[in-house]
Amino acid sequence: MLLSLSGQSQDAQVSFDAVTGTGNDDGGVAHGRLLARLAEAMWEGEPSQLAAVRDDVTAAMGGDALVDAVAVSANFHMMTRIADGTGTKYDRAGLERTAEVRAQVGVNDMASGQEALRLLTHR
Protein backbone atom coordinates (compact mmCIF):
# COMPACT_ATOMS: atom_id res chain seq x y z
CA MET A 1 0.00 0.00 0.00
CA LEU A 2 2.81 2.44 0.81
CA LEU A 3 4.23 1.89 -2.69
CA SER A 4 0.95 3.03 -4.16
CA LEU A 5 0.69 6.05 -1.86
CA SER A 6 4.34 6.95 -2.41
CA GLY A 7 3.76 6.88 -6.16
CA GLN A 8 0.65 9.05 -5.83
CA SER A 9 2.53 11.57 -3.70
CA GLN A 10 5.06 11.97 -6.52
CA ASP A 11 2.55 11.87 -9.39
CA ALA A 12 4.08 8.62 -10.63
CA GLN A 13 2.18 5.88 -12.48
CA VAL A 14 2.94 2.80 -10.41
CA SER A 15 1.85 -0.67 -11.48
CA PHE A 16 2.12 -3.77 -9.31
CA ASP A 17 3.62 -6.07 -11.93
CA ALA A 18 7.06 -5.86 -10.35
CA VAL A 19 5.55 -6.56 -6.93
CA THR A 20 3.63 -9.62 -8.07
CA GLY A 21 6.42 -10.86 -10.34
CA THR A 22 4.10 -10.96 -13.34
CA GLY A 23 5.75 -8.33 -15.51
CA ASN A 24 9.11 -7.60 -17.05
CA ASP A 25 9.01 -3.83 -16.77
CA ASP A 26 9.91 -1.49 -13.92
CA GLY A 27 6.33 -0.81 -12.84
CA GLY A 28 6.93 2.93 -12.87
CA VAL A 29 9.84 2.73 -10.40
CA ALA A 30 13.42 3.37 -11.50
CA HIS A 31 15.20 -0.02 -11.72
CA GLY A 32 12.01 -1.60 -10.38
CA ARG A 33 12.40 -4.95 -12.13
CA LEU A 34 16.05 -5.21 -11.07
CA LEU A 35 15.17 -4.51 -7.43
CA ALA A 36 12.36 -7.07 -7.58
CA ARG A 37 14.86 -9.63 -8.97
CA LEU A 38 17.12 -8.91 -5.99
CA ALA A 39 14.25 -9.55 -3.55
CA GLU A 40 13.41 -12.77 -5.41
CA ALA A 41 17.03 -13.95 -5.31
CA MET A 42 17.20 -13.28 -1.57
CA TRP A 43 14.00 -15.27 -1.12
CA GLU A 44 15.36 -18.20 -3.16
CA GLY A 45 18.78 -18.04 -1.48
CA GLU A 46 20.53 -19.70 -4.40
CA PRO A 47 24.13 -18.37 -4.29
CA SER A 48 24.84 -18.12 -8.04
CA GLN A 49 21.51 -16.41 -8.71
CA LEU A 50 22.21 -13.96 -5.89
CA ALA A 51 25.72 -13.26 -7.16
CA ALA A 52 24.45 -12.46 -10.65
CA VAL A 53 21.76 -10.06 -9.38
CA ARG A 54 24.24 -8.40 -7.02
CA ASP A 55 26.53 -7.71 -9.96
CA ASP A 56 23.64 -6.28 -11.98
CA VAL A 57 22.46 -4.01 -9.14
CA THR A 58 25.98 -2.79 -8.46
CA ALA A 59 26.57 -2.04 -12.14
CA ALA A 60 23.28 -0.20 -12.57
CA MET A 61 22.85 1.51 -9.21
CA GLY A 62 26.12 1.26 -7.25
CA GLY A 63 27.30 -0.48 -4.11
CA ASP A 64 25.41 1.79 -1.71
CA ALA A 65 22.13 0.94 -3.40
CA LEU A 66 22.94 -2.77 -3.30
CA VAL A 67 23.51 -2.64 0.47
CA ASP A 68 20.42 -0.51 1.08
CA ALA A 69 18.17 -2.71 -1.05
CA VAL A 70 19.41 -5.90 0.64
CA ALA A 71 18.79 -4.23 4.01
CA VAL A 72 15.20 -3.32 3.08
CA SER A 73 14.44 -6.84 1.88
CA ALA A 74 16.02 -8.37 5.00
CA ASN A 75 13.90 -6.04 7.12
CA PHE A 76 10.73 -7.41 5.56
CA HIS A 77 11.77 -10.99 6.24
CA MET A 78 11.59 -9.75 9.85
CA MET A 79 8.40 -7.68 9.69
CA THR A 80 6.41 -10.34 7.84
CA ARG A 81 7.28 -12.89 10.54
CA ILE A 82 6.33 -10.48 13.30
CA ALA A 83 3.02 -9.71 11.58
CA ASP A 84 2.20 -13.34 10.79
CA GLY A 85 3.46 -14.71 14.11
CA THR A 86 1.45 -12.28 16.23
CA GLY A 87 -1.74 -12.18 14.17
CA THR A 88 -1.31 -8.55 13.17
CA LYS A 89 -4.22 -7.66 10.91
CA TYR A 90 -5.90 -4.68 9.35
CA ASP A 91 -9.05 -3.36 10.96
CA ARG A 92 -12.17 -2.86 8.82
CA ALA A 93 -11.24 0.69 7.88
CA GLY A 94 -7.78 -0.44 6.84
CA LEU A 95 -9.22 -3.24 4.73
CA GLU A 96 -11.50 -0.80 2.91
CA ARG A 97 -8.62 1.61 2.35
CA THR A 98 -6.42 -1.10 0.84
CA ALA A 99 -9.06 -3.08 -1.05
CA GLU A 100 -7.92 -2.06 -4.52
CA VAL A 101 -4.25 -2.69 -3.85
CA ARG A 102 -4.95 -6.05 -2.20
CA ALA A 103 -6.97 -7.14 -5.19
CA GLN A 104 -4.22 -6.12 -7.62
CA VAL A 105 -1.49 -7.87 -5.65
CA GLY A 106 -3.61 -10.95 -4.93
CA VAL A 107 -2.98 -11.13 -1.19
CA ASN A 108 -6.62 -11.97 -0.43
CA ASP A 109 -6.01 -15.39 -1.98
CA MET A 110 -2.98 -16.13 0.21
CA ALA A 111 -3.46 -18.34 3.29
CA SER A 112 -2.59 -15.40 5.55
CA GLY A 113 -5.15 -13.25 3.73
CA GLN A 114 -7.91 -15.81 4.09
CA GLU A 115 -7.09 -16.19 7.80
CA ALA A 116 -7.18 -12.41 8.31
CA LEU A 117 -10.53 -12.07 6.58
CA ARG A 118 -11.94 -15.10 8.45
CA LEU A 119 -10.96 -13.64 11.83
CA LEU A 120 -12.36 -10.23 10.96
CA THR A 121 -15.77 -11.69 10.19
CA HIS A 122 -15.70 -13.62 13.50
CA ARG A 123 -14.73 -10.65 15.69
Q: Which of residues 23-42 bind other proteins (CB under 8 A)?
A: 27-32, 35-36, 38-42
Side-chain half-sphere exposure of 52, counting CA atoms within 13 A: 7
* CB of 59 vs other proteins, minimal distance in Å: 14
The three-class DSSP label of residue 34 is: helix
* CB of 88 vs other proteins, minimal distance in Å: 5
Residue 107, phi then psi, degrees to nearest 5 = -70, -20
- Contact residue for other proteins among 52, 55, 59, 80 (CB under 8 A): 80
22 touches other proteins (CB under 8 A): no
Kindly determine how many residues on this chain lie close enough to bind other proteins according to the rule CB under 8 A.
77
10 touches other proteins (CB under 8 A): yes
- Contact residue for other proteins among 23, 49, 56, 83 (CB under 8 A): 83
* Interacting positions 96-115 with other proteins (CB under 8 A): 105-108, 110-113, 115
User: In Å, how far are 59, 79, 85, 111 from 82, measured between CA atoms?
Assistant: 34, 5, 5, 16
User: In Å, how far are 52, 54, 81, 104 from 88, measured between CA atoms?
Assistant: 35, 33, 10, 21
Q: State whether the Cα torsion 73-104-98-16 is positive or negative.
A: positive
* CB of 89 vs other proteins, minimal distance in Å: 7
